Amino acid sequence: MEAERDSTIELPIGSLTRRRFLGWLGWGSLALALGGIAQGIPFYLKPRLTYEPTTTFIVGRPSDYQVGEMRPIEAKRVLIFRTPLGFQALSMTCTHLGCSYKPFGPPTREYPVVHAVCPCHGSVFARDGRVLGGPAPKPLPFYRLSLTPDGRLQVDNAQTVPSTWYLTVEGQEIEGPTPDGSDIKFS
């Protein structure tokens, strides 16, 4: 009983009592905690991080490609063409239901021009992206290419360009002829 009564006795700390001191400590801690929460609210409402996927990717260096080459970048579903004028990047995603079509092949009796066929439902595309046959509702898009400061080829699949757009080896954007497939060397 004596010890219990002693614990309720307020001992002076300077001019403060222990109870008042502990009270201030408690309120101070609460204020600090609330301040920390309030500081975090703007970042919660508008986080600095963005989780949107990037639209640009590297596909090597210009010197990695031979003139006349058509290189599928399967992971990114894009075809890179190295033409005598420069580079082009064409989507490999069929505009019907999104399958990957096969790379372009030489003219055939049925399609007497360079063309690519989608294995899913038979859409056929010309080298300039036009639909030659099948259910695809619209042409294939071409994507903008650029050279990074360290000289690598970069595709941006959020930016489309006309089929007459080329990126030169030096990194200049130029206008050229509509590609008809004569710029591909079939082995």
How many residues sit in the footprint of ligand FES (CB under 6 A)?
Answer: 13
| Site membership for ligand FES, residue 127 (CB under 6 A) | no
Residue (82 or 127) nearer to ligand FES, CB = 127
| Site membership for ligand FES, residue 132 (CB under 6 A) | no
Residue (73 or 120) nearer to ligand FES, CB = 120
Each residue 107-126 as x (binds ligand FES by CB under 6 A) or -, in order, gives: -----------x-xxxx---
> Measuring CA to CA, which residue among 130, 128, 106 is closest to residue 185?
106
| Site membership for ligand FES, residue 80 (CB under 6 A) | no
Residue (70 or 92) nearer to ligand FES, CB = 92
Q: 133 to 172, contacts with ligand FES by CB under 6 A?
A: 134-136
* CA–CA distances in Å: residue 2 to residues 8, 9, 19, 113, 175: 10, 11, 19, 106, 98
Residue (20 or 138) nearer to ligand FES, CB = 138
Residue 93 near residue 137 (C-beta atoms within 8 A): no
d(CA 137, CA 130): 10
Q: Footprint of ligand FES on this chain (CB under 6 A)? A: 94, 96-99, 118, 120-123, 134-136
